[in-house]
Amino acid sequence: MQHPLARAGVIGLALAVSACSVIQEDKIDYKSAQKASTLEVPPDLTQLSKDTRYTTTQDKSVSALALQAGQAQVPTVERSAPLQVGDVQILREGDKRWLLVNRPVEQLWEPAREFWIDHGFNLEQEKPDLGILETDWAENRAKLPQDVIRKTLGKVFDSLYSTSERDKFRTRLERRADGKTEIFITHRGMEEVYSSSQKDSTVWQPRGADPELETEFLRRLMIKLGTSEEQSKALVASAAAQGGNTTSSVKIITVADAPALAMQEPFDRAWRIVGVALDRTGFTVEDRDRSKGLYYVRYVQANKAETTKEKQGWFARKFSSKKQAENTPQQYQIAVRSEGTSSQVLVLNAQGQPETTKAAQNIVRVLAEDLK
């Protein structure tokens, strides 16, 4: 979508050369909506020494095993085996993929942080105690039409061009009992659409998560962690060829008069995919305790879409890191409980009691939609 000022000035020429327009959909070139932040160490990182689980080290080098793997060919693996180069593996369940790295979180935090900054994002959330990084809302500039006009005037009037989409990514680094780290990247999207048949007003509305975009950033993160370009592409291709469940069996049920989810999945898998669903659907995860099967989250119900007249204020609230007083998120606990070979997911209030309100019903419905 071009800015009206740019469109007014070149509309005649655009009609003449429209046949030459090409959308470069295979490229990624993100630009954050905010001015790039400095690379100063944020307050959270200066406090890491108080919690040795996530202490940042100065050694940013990859392991010798990973470096050796960069000079070797991708090993042949069976379809059912984890796909690995050096100490980096890519795992898959349905449309969800993640990395398993044989390094502690404290050695991966800074490379992961640098990774998003290098790709043109500002970081809106940095929670080293939880292993969570979240970018701000940004647009993929590679989706802009690369026609003669854009190539000629783009560098001069670049700010006058804009897409109608914004993306946000969350990276979660979760420590395993064996000392390895699981890395999840999840995507959220928004799009601007017309709200009337006259096309005189627009609204911003959520659009579905893009698993392929998540996979592409996982692939690029592999390179940051020591694999080569060719190896990362081979691993992703091999993961795509693997079999496995494409969906989870999820059913909304009632437990003690409270809404809940029944999942035909063992606890380990249920815990993992519920975590991904929380990330994809925008819950603020304040803490988690896997031993108790609890995610501590904040949730706020989305407002009705607003028109262009109100869009600027809404856009500023939605695509900035400034906290707003309205729609204060409420605290909840998302409990994943083992039921033999299956699991249940319940919504609890801040005190750990079953939640029976409409908000709980909405939370269950949102999670069920993503888990299907």
User: Tens digit of pLDDT for each residue in 183-235?
Assistant: 999 999 999 888 888 888 888 888 888 999 999 999 999 999 999 999 999 99
* 233 three-state secondary structure: helix
Residues 159 and 269 in one domain: no
The tens digit of pLDDT for each residue in 243-293 reads: 555 556 899 999 989 999 999 999 999 999 999 999 998 898 999 999 999
Most distant pair of Cα atoms in the chain: their distance: 67
Choose one of 206, 221, 245: the last residue of a domain. 245
Residue 366 has pLDDT above 90, yes or no: yes
Please tell me the predicted confidence (pLDDT) of residue 114: 97
Domain match, 275 and 221 both: no
Structure tokens at 306: 């607003």
Structure-block tokens of residue 343: 């699991």
Q: Nearest 5°: CA angle at 168, between 21 and 145? A: 5
User: Are both 105 and 55 inside the same structural domain?
Assistant: yes
Q: Which of 245, 261, 276 is the last residue of a domain?
A: 245
DSSP-derived secondary structure for 154-220: TTTSGGGB--SEEEEEEEEEEE-TTS-EEEEEEEEEEEEEE-STT---EEEEEE---HHHHHHHHHH
* CATH number (domain holding residue 132): 3.30.530.50
| 232 in the same domain as 263 | no
What total of structural domains would you count in the chain? 2
Say if strands 83-85 and 342-349 run parallel, antiparallel, or are unpaired.
Answer: unpaired
Indicate if 39 and 148 belong to the same structural domain. yes
Last residue of a domain, one of 245, 267, 295: 245
Question: Using one digit for the tens of pLDDT, what is the confidence trace for 100-150?
Answer: 999 999 999 999 999 999 999 999 999 999 999 999 999 887 776 655 554
pLDDT > 50? residue 307: no
- 148 with 186, same domain: the answer is yes
* Domain containing residue 186: 1-245
The CATH number that applies at residue 287 is: 3.30.310.170
